[in-house]
Homo-oligomer: A and B are copies of this chain.
Amino acid sequence: MGQALSEAVDSQCAHCPAHHLAFCAKCTPIELADFENLKYYRRFEPGEVIFWLGEPMGFVATIVSGIATVNQTLPDGRRQMVGLMMPSDFIGDPRRDKAPYDAISATETTLCCIPRRAFQEAMEKSPRVIGQLFEMKRNELDAMQEWMLLLGRKTAREKVASLLLLLVRRQLCTGSRERRGPISVAIELSREEMGDYLGLTTETICRQLSSLRQDGVIASNGVRNLSINSIDRLCAEACEAPESA
């Protein structure tokens, strides 16, 4: 309950699981200490809204743990996910005072928040932060290009396989688990969220999952946990190049 000593607080960023990939990855110790003083943690429940479209955006944030989604909607309610943010990803736009989209916590999520104006000033003084943010935006843009190819040209089955592949790869990166044999994947998105990611309805998601199950590509360990029988097979179904390593 008592506030930690500044040395202890300072060490937190270095121990942060998101630090080495986040905007602050290349900061000097001094810059890091500045952010230390500005930052505060916030926790969101599944389904909780982080930003509403058009709402004043008081802070920007790095995801420390959990998953958040960024969504665009049409006036009649049709919704498309346009960002799937994972730990170390950056949410919010330092130069904009109103959120240009909805951001929603998909799982239980912890954010490392920094007041927007303060962040903007700090950012503009630090080429390391700008450089890292630029690099991160570049990666995001690359991912979006593949995502657009998926949305525009892939079939429902290919879309579902692609999303599963994304989730598997993420888990392989994080958990560094054995490649041989069936791989168990925790699906941290609801069927509806999967549909919003892929531009499909929940019913189509279900049907394609059932079909992949019937064809032996995946197996089911409960509704939010699947096993992948063959990654290479899944790659083929997703119309993507097989795993390299």
Binding site for B on A (CB under 8 A): 70, 72-76, 78-80, 82-83, 93, 95, 100-101, 124, 127, 130-131, 133-135, 137-138, 140-142, 144-149, 151-154, 198-199, 239
Cβ–Cβ contact A141 & B140, under 8 A: yes
Most buried by B among A70, A134, A153: A153
Contacts of A147 in B (CB 8 A): 148
Cβ–Cβ contact B138 & A138, under 8 A: no
| Assembly CA distance A86 to B145 (angstroms) | 18
Contacts of A130 in B (CB 8 A): 127, 130-131, 134
Cβ–Cβ contact A148 & B74, under 8 A: no
> Chain B residue with minimal CB distance to A134?
B134
Cβ–Cβ contact B93 & A138, under 8 A: yes
| Assembly CA distance A83 to B147 (angstroms) | 13
Question: Distance (Å) between the CB of A69 and the closest chain B CB?
Answer: 12
> Chain B residue with minimal CB distance to A82?
B145
Contacts of A144 in B (CB 8 A): 82, 141, 144, 148
Cβ–Cβ contact A151 & B199, under 8 A: yes
| Assembly CA distance A133 to B134 (angstroms) | 8
| Assembly CA distance A95 to B134 (angstroms) | 11
Contacts of A78 in B (CB 8 A): 153-154
Contacts of A146 in B (CB 8 A): 72
Contacts of A75 in B (CB 8 A): 239
Q: Among the listed B95, B127, B141, B154, which residue makes an inter-chain contact with A141, where contact means beta carbons less than 8 Å apart?
A: B141
> Chain B residue with minimal CB distance to A72?
B149
Q: Among the listed B100, B134, B148, B239, which residue makes an inter-chain contact with A137, where contact means beta carbons less than 8 Å apart?
A: B134
Most buried by B among A83, A100, A133, A144: A144
Cβ–Cβ contact A151 & B148, under 8 A: yes
Q: Given that A101-B145, A148-B148 are known contacts, is A80 also in contact with B153, CB under 8 Å in the complex?
A: yes
| Assembly CA distance A113 to B213 (angstroms) | 51
Contacts of A148 in B (CB 8 A): 72, 80, 82, 144, 147-148, 151
| Assembly CA distance A142 to B135 (angstroms) | 17
Contacts of A199 in B (CB 8 A): 151-153
Cβ–Cβ contact B142 & A80, under 8 A: no
